[in-house]
Amino acid sequence: MDAVNLLGLTNLIGFDLEGLAAYCEQLGEKRFRATQLFRWIHQKGASDFDQMSDLAKSLRDKLASRAHITALPVISEHLSADGTVKWLFDVGAGDAVEAVFIPETDRGTLCISSQAGCAVGCRFCSTGHQGFSRNLDTGEIIAQLWYAEHSMRKRLGKSERVISNVVMMGMGEPLQNYNALVPALRMMLDDHGYGLSRRRVTVSTSGVVPMIDRLRDDCPVALAVSLHSPTDPLRDQLVPLNKKYPIAELLDACNRYLDKAPRDFITFEYCMLDGVNDTPEQAHALVDLLRGHVSCKINLIPFNPFPASGLKRSSRERVMAFAEILIQSGLVTTVRKTRGDDIDAACGQLAGEVQDRTQVQVRMVRAPMMVKGAGSS
Ligand code: SAH
Ligand code: SF4
C-alpha cells in the first residue's frame, strides 16, 4: 500500500506514534496532537477526520485535505459455524492475504499475515508452495488488525476491545519482513494504540536466527518457533531454511531470546505429518533434544492437507501417542484444535485456494528482468 495515493493524500493507518508525531510537526502542529489522532484511528476505529471531536475544526480540515485513513479492500469474508471469521484482503497486483479471527470464551485471537506468499518454501505449507510475491508494509500488517477489531466490535455490539491476542501465523515469514514488522508490533503494544500485552502478541518463525536476536533487543514479544523435526536431515527437507540455520543454532537463539522474553518459555510448533515426523522414536528424539535444554511448550498441529503437498495428516491415535511420550517425559504439550475447518481458515490454508500460482511464477521469473531494467535506465 503506498503511503501517498493518486490524489496526493497520505494514508495515516501505518504510522506508529513516532511517525504520526513527525507528520504533525511537518504540518506545524504540536506533537501531542499525534496522540489524539493515533487514539482516534486505532482505539476508536475512526476513518473520518470529522469524527475527531476533540480536534479543532481547522486541524480536521487541514488533515482532510492532505491525508486519509484507509484499510485494505476486503475481497471476501467468511463466517464459520464456530464463530471463526476469515477475511481475504486485496493487496494489489493480484495478491491477496488473509486474517482469521478466532473467538474463545476468555479471549479473541487474530491471526494475521506478514507477506504475500513466502520465500521459505516449507514442504507442508500451501503459502510456501505459492512462492514469494512481496513484503507487506507496516500499514498493510496493521490494517488487518484495524479492520478485524473494529468490524468485530460493530458485529458483536461491543464498545470494548474484542481482540486480546495477535499471532503472526498467517501468510509469510514475519522475520523476513523485519523492518515492517517491528513498527506494527509496537502499534499493537502501544497503550494509545491496541494496548495488547507483550505476552499476547506472538511472532511465529521458521527460524531466522539473526532476526530472533534482533527481535529480542528491539521488541521482545512471545515467540513461537516452527520446529517440525527433531533432526537436521529431516528438517532440511521440511523447512529449507534449516540448511542455513540448523537446529543447534536455532535452539541457542531461543535460549538467548528467553533472557528478555515476556514469557519464560518458547512455543515449538510441530506439524504432524503421517509417516514423516510422527513416530514414537521421533517423539523420544524430540524429548532428548529439548528437555533440559530449552524452556518450552510444544504445540502439535494436525496437518491441513492440500493436494500439491503429497503429504497426509497423522491419525488422531498417532498424534495422541506422540503427545503422550512428550507429556510422560515432562514436556508441556498441547494438541491444537482445528478451528474454522468449514471455511478453510485453519493454519497453512490461508489464501491457498485464491492465489493464482501461475501468476506468482510469472512474477518470479520477471523480477530479475525488472531489476536489470531499473539499473540500466
Ligand atoms: N512463517 C511462520 C509463520 C506462518 S506459518 C512460520 O512458519 O512459523 C504458521 C504456522 O502454520 C507454522 O507453525 C507452520 O508450520 C504452520 N503450517 C503451515 N502449513 C501448515 C499446514 N498445511 N498444516 C498445519 N500447519 C501448517
Ligand atoms: Fe513460510 Fe511459514 Fe509457510 Fe514455511 S510454514 S513456507 S515459513 S509461511
What are the pLDDT tens digits along the chain (377 aa)? 777 787 789 999 999 999 999 999 999 999 889 999 999 999 999 999 999 999 999 999 999 999 999 999 999 999 999 999 999 999 999 999 999 999 999 999 999 999 999 999 999 999 999 999 999 999 999 999 999 999 999 999 999 999 999 999 999 999 999 999 999 999 999 999 999 999 999 999 999 999 999 999 999 999 999 999 999 999 999 999 999 999 999 999 999 999 999 999 999 999 999 999 999 999 999 999 999 999 999 999 999 999 999 999 999 999 999 999 999 999 999 998 876 766 666 555 544 444 433 333 322 222 222 222 232 32
Atom of ligand 1 nearest to the CA of 205: 8
Distances (CA, A) of 66 to 39, 43, 91: 19, 22, 23
Ligand 1 contacts CB of residue 304 (under 6 A)? yes
Angle between helices 209-218 and 178-189 (to 10 degrees): 30
Q: Which of 233, 282, 290, 235 is nearest to 266 (CA)?
A: 290
Q: Residue 346's pLDDT is what?
A: 56
CA contacts within 13 A on the Cβ side of 327: 11
Give ranges for CATH 3.20.20.70 in the chain. Answer: 74-366
* Vertex 90 angle, CA 88 and 91, to 5°: 125
Burial class (CB in 10 A: 0-12, 13-18, 19+), 371: exposed
If we measure between CA atoms, which residue out of 64, 63, 109, 62 comes closest to residue 84?
109
CA distance 94 to 153: 29
pLDDT at 353: 44
Residue 302 CA, closest ligand 1 atom number: 24
Is residue 309 a known part of a binding site? no
Name the residue at shortest CA distance from atom 20 of ligand 1: 348
Distance CA 235, CA 292 (A): 21
DSSP states of 210-243: HHHHHHHHH---EEEEE---SSHHHHHHHSGGGG
Amino acid making up residue 360 = V
Q: Which pLDDT does position 287 carry in this prediction?
A: 98
Nearest CA to ligand 2 atom 6: 128
| Nine cell digits for residue 32 | 501531542
Residue 173 CA, ligand 2 centroid: distance in Å: 6
Q: Which helix (H) or strand (E) holds 77?
A: strand 74-79
CA 138 to chain centroid, in Å, comes to 12
> What DSSP assignment string belongs to 179-207?
HHHHHHHHHHH-TTTT---GGGEEEEES-
pLDDT at 367: 28
Residues 55 and 83: their CA atoms lie apart, in Å, by 37
Q: Which residues pair with 90 in a beta bridge?
A: 96
Return the CATH number of the domain spanning residue range 10-68. 1.10.150.530
Alpha carbon of 134 to those of 15, 112, 171: distances in Å? 20, 15, 11
Query: 289 in ligand 2 pocket by Cβ < 6 Å?
Result: no
**Reported pTM:** 0.92
Domain with CATH 1.10.150.530 in the chain: 10-68
When the candidates are 1.20.810.10, 3.20.20.70, 3.50.50.60, 1.10.1740.10, the CATH number that belongs to 74-366 is 3.20.20.70
